[in-house]
Amino acid sequence: DITKSLNFLEHIIEEDINGGFSSQKLRFRFPPEPNGYLHIGHASSICLNFGLGIKYGAPVNLRFDDTNPAKEEQEYVDAIKKDITWLGFKWDQECYASDYFQQLYDWAIQLIKNGKAYVDSQTSDDIALQKGTPTQAGKESPYRERPVEENLDLFEKMKNGEFKEGEHVLRAKIDMASSNMLMRDPIMYRILHKHHHNTGNDWCIYPMYDWAHGESDYIEQVSHSLCTLEFLPHRELYDWFLDQIYDESKVRPKQREFARRNLSHTVVSKRKLLKLVQEDVVSGWDDPRMPTISGLRRRGYTPASIKNFADTIGIAKRENLIDVSLLEFCAREDLNKTAPRVMAVLDPLKVVITNYPENKEEWLDAENNPEEEVMTYRKVPFSREIYIEKEDFKEEANRKFFRLKIGSEVRLKNAYIIKAESCVKDAEGNITEVHCTYDEDSKSGSGTEASMRKVKGTLHWVSVKHAGEAEVRIYDRLFSEAEPDRHEDKDFMEFVNPDSLKVVTGFIEPSLNNANPGDRFQFQRLGYFCVDKNSLSNKIVFNKTVGLRDTWAK
């Protein structure tokens, strides 16, 4: 039974189709307000809406909900388009609520003429005081019965810029005793003498979200307007506004709600993310620690990993917290398939192979990715001096330490078996060099008996004289608390993790010298890394995406 695998929104759509709604008329939209960069919560909404578009072969509009000129900017419009495109989705029409300002204004006049809207000349404080409480009816404005002609005249003057901000508002005339507070004569327009990123100085009255949203859906003939749960109480108003202008021959949009997605150890709110940017807690909206799509991209996340994450969590009717380790799991799963393997050493210790000739070097074959169907190889240089990770050597260790220790052997990945003989220390007793011997017949892939010899540990390494230097940025969670913005007595900023960024200098195999910003790799045994846009021709910069270890309990 196919309907079993449908989510509750798909069930609603299926019921509409079964009830006679033509599937040809399905249309969806993703409606961001361009007041910040998109975050991982938006990715859920994008995957939902564009996913439905793909599933039903229906168009999906990108609608900028730009009714508040105070907070909106072209930079955000551009960033939003870039992120959706990068995720791999194509919108049908690029729409702006601000393109409908004239139509909305004309409809507002129609409402006034029909006695459904009036100009209120009270202060916003007075209006707020009259709202009442959920259990107590509000008080009607003294301007509620203003004659239509006077309303029309004042509204036109509001539009023509004859008043200051706050002098008048246009309100819908609904019901001051409604049990739904939003129905108590909601404001439709306020005066704002502000420049708008799209309409410039054409307008000085701006529609409120509730007035603009449903009517924009109607203008675009969106059939299913999917939004997050906080809009559930707005649905009645959405429908009331549509009732005022609806033409029966057209598609009547339907608002339906799903739960917002929250991610642990971060904040998914543009307002809060903007604060992190403005207060220099991060380097920008695309800082790799940010839960923004641009931050995740720079961190090394693939579009597939973000889409898999959104599909895995699915949609829900109730809010809950998703552990960030699930997102990391999705990154690892995709990168394991797609990221070429390379060798890099981030905390180097020099190893000298004393029986390897001084001037000799060899270029050994190394597998690019064991997950590939048809294996491809690259060459890595080997020589007498190599770097290994400091933590891969111990002078003495118990039997469970399968890495390098004096008197025992390990295999060097793609190369030879070596045996530690002695180590060199500085005045403080720190180990500065390890002296080893190698088994000349043990070269990986050479087919000799010695090459098949089983030794417990395999280490990654880079040849000292061939190594490139790289700046490697290693990240920890941006917040030390799972839900930094759910504390009643503390601001989320108090939970910023002061140690969320560590920068080290690492050594990389020479094949990485030609890597470009955005390229992703697995540094063997260390994790996944992505070339950062800050890379210079003489110094490459890597961001650590995630470690290799799967900490997510499947």
**Catalytic amino acids?**
33, 260, 270
Using the rule CB under 6 A, which residue among 13, 26, 28, 31 binds ligand ATP?
A: 31
Judged by CB under 5 A, which stretch of 26-34, 345-353, 435-443, 540-548 contacts Mg ion?
A: 26-34
Q: How far is the CB of 363 from ligand ATP (least distance, A)?
A: 50
Q: CB-based contacts of 404: which residues, under 8 Å, 6+ apart?
A: 351, 388, 392, 393, 394, 410, 418, 420, 434, 436, 457, 459
The residues in 190-229 that bind ligand ATP, with binding defined as CB under 6 A, are 227-228
Indicate the length of the chain as a whole number: 554
The answer to the question of whether 268 is labelled as a binding residue is yes
3-state secondary structure 284-310: CCCCCCCCEHHHHHHHCCCHHHHHHHH
Alpha carbon dihedral 162, 163, 165, 166, in 10-degree steps, equals: -150
Judged by CB under 5 A, which stretch of 30-38, 72-80, 300-308, 379-387 contacts Mg ion?
A: 30-38
The candidate with the shortest Cα–Cα distance to 165, out of 205, 130, 113, 199, is 205
d(CA 67, CA 260): 22
The residues in 360-379 that bind ligand ATP, with binding defined as CB under 6 A, are none
**485 versus 550: smaller Cβ distance to ligand ATP:** 485
* Dihedrals phi, psi of 370, to nearest 5 degrees: -60, -15
Q: Residue 16 burial by CB count (10 A; 0-12/13-18/19+): exposed, middle or buried?
A: middle
The answer to the question of whether 537 is labelled as a binding residue is no
Q: Are 260 and 319 spatial neighbours (Cβ–Cβ below 8 Å)?
A: yes
**234 versus 260: smaller Cβ distance to ligand ATP:** 260
Helices (H), 6-100: 8-18, 40-56, 74-87
Q: How far is the CB of 513 from Mg ion (least distance, A)?
A: 44
Q: How far is the CB of 51 from Mg ion (least distance, A)?
A: 20
The answer to the question of whether 209 is labelled as a binding residue is yes
Using the rule CB under 6 A, which residue among 13, 27, 28, 41 binds ligand ATP?
A: 41
**224 versus 260: smaller Cβ distance to Mg ion:** 260
Per the listing, tokens 């449903």 go with 214
DSSP bridge pairs for 501: 475
- Report what 32 binds from ligand ATP, Mg ion, none; CB cut-off 5-8 Å by kind: ligand ATP
- Report what 325 binds from ligand ATP, Mg ion, none; CB cut-off 5-8 Å by kind: none
The contact mask relative to ligand ATP for 43-62 (x = CB under 6 A, - = no) is: -xx-----------------
The two tokens of residue 110 are 């129609």
- Report what 66 binds from Mg ion, ligand ATP, none; CB cut-off 5-8 Å by kind: none
Q: How far is the CB of 330 from ligand ATP (least distance, A)?
A: 16
Judged by CB under 6 A, which stretch of 1-9, 25-33, 415-423, 452-460 contacts ligand ATP?
A: 25-33
The candidate with the shortest Cα–Cα distance to 483, out of 217, 240, 304, 262, is 262
* Residue ranges at the known binding site: 33-35, 65, 209, 228, 268-270
Binding positions for ligand ATP, rule: CB under 6 A: 31-33, 41-42, 44-45, 65, 227-228, 260-261, 268-270
Binding positions for Mg ion, rule: CB under 5 A: 33
